[in-house]
Structure 1
């Protein structure tokens, strides 16, 4: 039985895509093949007969010329008893179009499994498992009962007839290598009958050949449109070669994204590295004019072009996104914005915008939330002109073309959750929660007083919890700057009713005042999220905001109460 070779598209196993580009091997052919051929490898075979592929690049209208030296070396004449074969010594490769990926499909891989025909008993006994090595002393004619396929299994999807023709092809290629330097750069990989030649062969062998994650070849060398390079397709993806970038596999999410953009005809052009495994488990692959990133959390690739925007990303840790404040790309680099001047790229934790006059700058946190709500580069503020500068307290100010914006950079943090307790009355509940605020002195500093102290004589109602969430810029409530937050009550079972009473507060010369009050309720539900807490700013003066939500649940006529306080936060919002 053939040992299954799993192709995972990456990782540390022998069958996985290597973590970095391997060094060029001193001899890329397997040892068994080196014993069969003594000539040193030379550059890509000019005699390989290929056809232009169908890619998104404009197809070539002419076929590359075949050097006259190819015709000067005749193929060995077949012996009189030789059975006819389906391919010549230099096989004509049927045009194999580059795959057309879908932006919504998850890349898949193939593994080698034994052919059902190969595992069937033979007259001479059971076949040995597939070895993946070159055929020793291959037969140049079809000899029933004496072929490699008669003594060794072969993998799907190949047939015995195809395996026999591949062995005959191996014998003919070895004979041709005695008289052709060009043929010496080629190799067959039984039971595939395709010649893999030149630098692509060397790369394939350096990855492990038939034992690599690519598995067996499904084409010979194919000249790409415009004669800009070559490719060979394998069961799990292609290897592309160009004079500028060398030979590199492009598989799985990287092939999918590259294909969507247009393969070698895209702005990325040809690959210049293999996949590079990053410290956090993500991956990056470099191309002539950019890179594709794949975060470890998903299998979706995103591309970025070389230039000022990528230079800025690299300056803030873009080569190792897991340690960058921006994180990974979440979409392709937008190389032209509606004004025809700017560019942008979106990341997990922010964006970078570029303008030829103002340069490339990241925008994150509250500043991004407010700038986005106002219209991004189309707003009155225009494009960013600087990094965000910390004033020493965690409050950042960033200069834009037409003025500054300020805010925090850290991700928002929700305050402590509140448990529901029984009280004699609503008034008693409010009085107790007010006393806890007074004990803390600052209504926003008493983060967990409610959760850590149980009201005297009260009973906690466990199936429900009140969550304060966090204060934020509201971006879906109409024009202008709006501050709000969305407290949530969650229960394990439907309540008779759930009610929220929320005060949005602001600091004024050291005192906390109520900016506005809001109420929301629902009946016969498990959860309630209050969405009507919003304060419309009257200017852009920096102001500290806070709040309190009193939650009330009714269970069959019995009421329970909880109070929560979102962490205070500063906004450029005049009250």
Structure 2
């Protein structure tokens, strides 16, 4: 009888060892729920870029979600966005907007790399934050973000040039204009201005310089009504509320025509 008990005990121990070997790694006991799952299985746990948790799970002040702060960033969660990490300079840009209580809301992606490999970006409920080493991290949202995403023009040889190549990356968050009528983002080589009456349009190059000389949107020309386009004989035209600016590439100069418009 004793021999049978010993053999049975040996089988139980062996089974327990096998089960122990076969069991998946347990989630970090310091972080639970969907945040803990993402931390362990998406971000590498304590051995990943986030490092160790420095807080427990904290409910957001608006009661819509939760977050955990780690040595290398944070993971935010809400029922409709899931759990996503925010770290580095993009996290700092997110903080400037008021975290999840600001215009951006909760993150809906992790940090991503642009197709050109020039920038990092992250999407949020209310917009996007883009970062490059030379411009820093800045948000875009609403009509200005849409205008940037949809922007294109024809460059040399009639190749289509997109916003990243013509305007560059944002160098500011969205800024309200001094007169309170609209808003704008600045970029490396231009700006996008928006108002309810004019929509969002890019201004750059010699036309932007001439417009600046008129006082930007506070001058007699007001806000841009459209992006610039080639009119005739290579003349580049952009219409504004109070007139137009025409750039002559042969002269290398831009001319201001208050009260006049030429439509494509």
Same topology, TM > 0.5? yes
Q: Using a 3 Å threshold, how does the CA distance of structure 1 residues 573 and 326 change in structure 2: closer, same or farther?
A: closer
The answer to whether 1:364 aligns with 2:47 is: no
> Does structure 1 residue 266 correspond to structure 2 residue 254?
no
Q: Which of these residues, 278, 281, 284, is aligned with residue 118 of structure 2?
A: 281
Structure number with bigger Rg:
1
Maintained 8 Å contact 1:365/1:408: no
Q: Indicate the residue corresponding to 2:167 in structure 1.
A: 326
1:571, distance to aligned residue in structure 2 (A): 3.5
CA offsets, 1:53-73, max 9 Å, x none? xxxxxxxxxxxxxxxxxxxxx
User: 1:432-488 deviations in whole A, cap 9, x for unaligned?
Assistant: xxxxxxxxxxxxxxxxxxxxxxxxxxxxxxxxxxxxxxxxxxxxxxxxxxxxxxxxx
Aligned twin of 1:14: none
Following TM superposition, by how much is the alpha carbon of 1:212 offset from its aligned partner in structure 2, in angstroms? 1.4
The reply to whether residue 338 of structure 1 matches residue 162 of structure 2 is no
Q: Given the alignment of the two structures, is residue 247 of structure 1 paired with residue 83 of structure 2, yes or no?
A: yes
Contact kept in structure 1, 2:244 and 2:256, CA below 8 Å: no
Separation in 1, partners of 2:171, 2:83: 28
- Work out the CA distance in 2 between the residues paired with 1:199 and 1:394: 57
TM-superposed deviation, 1:311: 1.1
How far the C-alpha of 1:350 sits from its partner, in A, is: 0.8
Deviations 1:119-154 (A, max 9, x none): xxxxxxxxxxxxxx76xxxxxxxxxxxxxxxxxxxx
What SS does the corresponding residue of 1:227 show, helix, strand or coil?
coil
The secondary structure found in structure 1 opposite 2:168 is coil
Residue 390 (str. 1) matches residue 73 (str. 2) = no
Equivalent-residue separation in structure 1 for 2:234 and 2:22 (angstroms): 65
Displacement of 1:280 after TM fit?
Answer: 2.9
Structure 2: tracts of 5 or more residues without a match: 1-18, 153-160, 258-264
Are residues 294 and 202 of structure 1, via their aligned partners in 2, closer, same or farther at CA, if it must alter by over 3 Å? Answer: same
Distance 2:130 2:22 in 1: 38
What is the Cα deviation at residue 296 of structure 1?
4.2
State the distance in 1 between where 2:232 and 2:78 align. 51
Conserved in 2, the CA contact under 8 Å of 1:246 and 1:272?
A: yes
Aligned pair partner of 1:237 in 46, 56, 73:
73
Evaluate the alpha carbon distance shift between residue 197 and residue 33 of structure 1 in structure 2; reply closer, same or farther with a 3 A threshold.
farther
Higher helix share: 2
Structure 2 partner of 1:406: 246
Between Structure 1 and Structure 2, which shows a larger proportion of strand residues?
A: 2
In the TM superposition, what is the alpha-carbon distance from 1:254 to its structure 2 partner?
1.0
Distance apart, 1:309 and its partner CA: 1.8
CA distance in 2, matches of 1:220, 1:34: 29
Number of residue pairs matched by the alignment: 229
What is the deviation of 1:401? 0.7
CA distance in 1, matches of 2:180, 2:191: 18
Match of 2:253 in 1: 570
Structure 2 counterpart of 1:297, from 124, 129, 134: 134
Distance in structure 1 (CA, Å) of the matches to 2:21 and 2:230: 64
Alignment of 1:337-486 (within 5 A): 337-391=177-231, 393-407=233-247
Could you tell me how far 1:573 is from its partner in structure 2?
7.8
1:117-266 residue pairs with structure 2 within 5 A? 187-188=28-29, 195-205=30-40, 206-266=42-102
Q: For the Cα contact (< 8 Å) 1:283–1:296, is it kept in 2?
A: no
SS of the equivalent of 1:303 reads strand
The offset of 1:281, in angstroms, is: 2.8
Contact residue 365 and residue 407 of structure 1 kept, 8 A: no
Counterpart Cα distance in 2 of 1:332 and 1:357: 22
Q: Is the 8 A contact 2:245 2:256 kept in 1?
A: no
What residue in structure 2 maps to residue 57 of structure 1? none
Q: CA deviation at 1:267?
A: 0.9
* Runs of 5+ consecutive residues of structure 1 not aligned to the other structure: 1-30, 37-132, 135-185, 189-194, 410-542, 545-568
Q: Is the 8 A contact 2:148 2:163 kept in 1?
A: no
User: Normalising by the residue count of structure 1, what TM-score does the alignment of the two structures yield?
Assistant: 0.37
Per-residue CA deviation, residues 364-421 of structure 1 (Å, 9 max, x unaligned), is: 1111001012100111111111121113554311011111101269xxxxxxxxxxxx
- Matched residue of 1:367: which SS? helix
Secondary structure, counterpart of 2:31 in structure 1:
strand
Number of the residue aligned with 1:316: 151
CA distance in structure 2 between the aligned counterparts of 1:338 and 1:244, rounded to whole angstroms: 37
Give me the CA root mean square deviation. 2.7
